[in-house]
Structure 1
Amino acid sequence: MAPVTGGMKCVKFLIFSINFVFLLCSLAFFMLGFLVKNDLISVPNVSQQSKDTSSIFFMVVGGVVIFVTFFGSCGAWKENHCMVITFVILLSFILIAEIFLTVGGYVLLNKMLANSSKTLQTMIKEYKTKDKYKKIMDNIQQQLECCGSVAVSDWVGFQPDGISVPDSCCRNVTLNCGAKAMNNSKVIYTEGCWIVHTSFYYKIVPGLGVTILVIALIEIFSVVLGCMLICGMRKGYKVIGNDYKNVTVCGLALIIVGVLAKVAVNDFPEVQQLANTSFPIVIIVVGVVIFFIAFFGCCGAWKDNYCMVTTFAVLLSFIIIIEIGIAITAYVFRGQLKTIVEGGMNKMIKNYTNPDIQKNVDKLQHKLKCCGSVNASDWINYKPDKNSVPDSCCKNQTQSCGAGALKDSSKIFNQGCATVVEDFLKKNILWVGVAALVIAFIE
């Protein structure tokens, strides 16, 4: 192996610098592991195993990062071809793990918040009987400046008078300051601790997402730099083969699938409003990117350019990771479609007097041959007689055909639009997800 020269020296030092930063991050993870373990010691409803697992997780992540950065920094400094390749491979696996953890973490966030609500309710219920819970609850209320779980009224059974709260709810804690203070917002905090806790998490989620994205981009940049350094250390490597047609076909296939899905959804603007999904657009973008990368790979293969083909392979690997992540996300969230669709439909029924909403609902009911959200009875408050539905619910639509139609269900569609739209979205997302997985395996 010839020593790197010119621009490759810059790449070498960039890789070393990035790995040094990652090394500092790994040390931070070790510290976070110890802090997490100490913070969870006093939290009820958390098993010792969970406490140990949480801290061990951060320590393991820190250890893995140190291990990977060792290969990256030493490989770059010593210009060791094998170590740099190992670094690139390990970092790619970390990227895959981050995608799965991010998707899984988002899915489990609501479950975690629900569990925290139960924990707070348990501590409130046993506040007087268990001194441990009393200390923890007092500490939480003072630290978060809150009172109760959802609201201050959670303490209604705290004292026989029904209007007293613990002193820890007071803005300025003094002995018996919470006596008969439940309705005095100047003396006590009125916001529930679970509300404060939930708001905190939802505030940090966007920032956390951006942080993860930045880290992922840095890792991708590091992998590309690693591939460039490998190219610089392997002069005269001959590329064999130039068959990249399958990859190009995959890109075209994704574009076609995305366009078809987008056209299908565009036929129902109401569906777009309900689902708020850009899934077909994502597929189109991924298809265009793959087609571009495949063209890049073809040129590299045709010219026997090792650096171009290596970069092509790395970029294509990231596209595969993205496709798998999209497919998994679609599958995980398909169970929530019914709630989303029903909520959106009920909102549109409530605001049916709005001309734009009325036009969309009528078009939806007519095209999908449905009526209401769950069933036609959702329109019971449509007219004062409590028996009428919009004319778009009628099987044979004529003016005023929906008047009194709830008495004769044979004249109108009985299936709710939420069920029809839910089936449409599930079918669309599921098949596009399956197509993405199949194409990923081909790639």
Structure 2
Amino acid sequence: IFMWTLLIILVLQITGAVLGFVFSGKVLRKSEKLLDKAIIRYRDDLDLQNLIDFIQKKFKCCGIKYYSDWSKNMYFNCSETNPSLERCAVPFSCCIMDTREILNTMCGYETQELKPWSAQNQIYINGCLDSIVKWGHQNLLTISGLALGLLVLEIFMVSLTVLLLHQIQSVKKIIKRTTQK
């Protein structure tokens, strides 16, 4: 059972890698839709909010493709009917912060109304999807090396399992022969 489980995991990983490579455009579109839903639900789920904030801080980005993507969220939407104090804002994680300053969680307020050349002084204006893809391309060698290392380790584990299985069969044969005498 252990060997078959390892083999199934190995085949699934290889299949996933091949499909991800072949259908990378589709994966990108699905990721964009997923991020779009995440922006819409930003204030509804604290874990999701923390994840988005982490991504935006880590990759120094804002929104999916552009900072104006935050208009899709009902709290940050720029419509006249939006009564929220965060109307036309972006989350504080989009803000360009000086580490020596005190955290200003209102730094992104009214930035969606600004022109990009003006907004870029306060917030990151580039989207996170491009930043993540760029990071992936820059770290492709490292990611590939880790994946290859795991693949070799898994193949080694399957080989050891097969070897152990053969040894068990050999011991069973020896025991069977000695008990028949």
> TM (normalized to structure 2)?
0.54
2:88 maps to 1:163:
yes
**CA shift for structure 1 position 174:** 1.2
**CA shift for structure 1 position 185:** 0.6
**CA shift for structure 1 position 101:** 6.3
> Separation in 2 of the partners of 1:169 and 1:114?
23
- Residues 51-105 of structure 1 deviation map (CA, whole Å, 9 limit, x = unaligned): xxxxxxxx948x98xxxxxxxxxxxxxxxxxxxxxxxxxxxxx9xx96x665433
Map 1:255-270; keep pairs closer than 5 Å.
none
Letter in 2 for 1:147: C
Map 1:287-306; keep pairs closer than 5 Å.
none
Structure exhibiting the larger radius of gyration computed from Cα positions: 1
Letter in 2 for 1:168: S
Q: Which residue of 2 aligns with 1:192?
A: 127
- 1:203 counterpart (134, 138, 152): 138
**CA shift for structure 1 position 111:** 2.8
Q: Which residue of 2 aligns with 1:124?
A: 39
- 1:145 counterpart (49, 53, 60): 60
**CA shift for structure 1 position 210:** 7.4
> Separation in 2 of the partners of 1:181 and 1:175?
13
Q: In percent, how many aligned pairs have the same letter?
A: 25
Q: Which residue of 2 aligns with 1:135?
A: 50
> Separation in 2 of the partners of 1:156 and 1:126?
12
Map 1:390-429; keep pairs closer than 5 Å.
none
Q: Which residue of 1 aligns with 2:169?
A: none
2:95/2:122 contact within 8 Å kept: yes
- Name the structure with the higher helix share: 1
Map 1:67-82; keep pairs closer than 5 Å.
none
Relative contact order higher in (CA < 8 Å, ≥ 6 apart): 2
Q: Which residue of 1 aligns with 2:168?
A: none
**CA shift for structure 1 position 187:** 1.0
> Separation in 2 of the partners of 1:155 and 1:201?
24
2:111 maps to 1:181:
yes
Please give the secondary structure, in 1, of the residue aligned with 2:23: helix
Letter in 2 for 1:200: W
Q: Which residue of 2 aligns with 1:284?
A: none
- Residues 305-326 of structure 1 deviation map (CA, whole Å, 9 limit, x = unaligned): xxxxxxxxxxxxxxxxxxxxxx
- Residues 286-319 of structure 1 deviation map (CA, whole Å, 9 limit, x = unaligned): xxxxxxxxxxxxxxxxxxxxxxxxxxxxxxxxxx
> Separation in 1 of the partners of 2:45 and 2:143?
39
Please give the secondary structure, in 2, of the residue aligned with 1:163: coil
Q: Which runs of 4+ in 1 moved over 3 A?
A: 100-105, 159-163, 202-205, 208-212
Please give the secondary structure, in 2, of the residue aligned with 1:104: helix
2:20/2:27 contact within 8 Å kept: no
Change (3 A) 1:101 1:186: same
Aligned length: 123
Change (3 A) 1:194 1:102: closer
> Separation in 2 of the partners of 1:166 and 1:151?
13
Letter in 2 for 1:169: C
**CA shift for structure 1 position 118:** 1.3
> TM (normalized to structure 1)?
0.24
**CA shift for structure 1 position 179:** 0.6
> Separation in 2 of the partners of 1:154 and 1:130?
18
2:63/2:127 contact within 8 Å kept: yes
> Separation in 1 of the partners of 2:18 and 2:91?
40
> Separation in 1 of the partners of 2:88 and 2:139?
34
**CA shift for structure 1 position 180:** 1.2
Letter in 2 for 1:177: C
Change (3 A) 1:186 1:131: same
- Residues 325-381 of structure 1 deviation map (CA, whole Å, 9 limit, x = unaligned): xxxxxxxxxxxxxxxxxxxxxxxxxxxxxxxxxxxxxxxxxxxxxxxxxxxxxxxxx
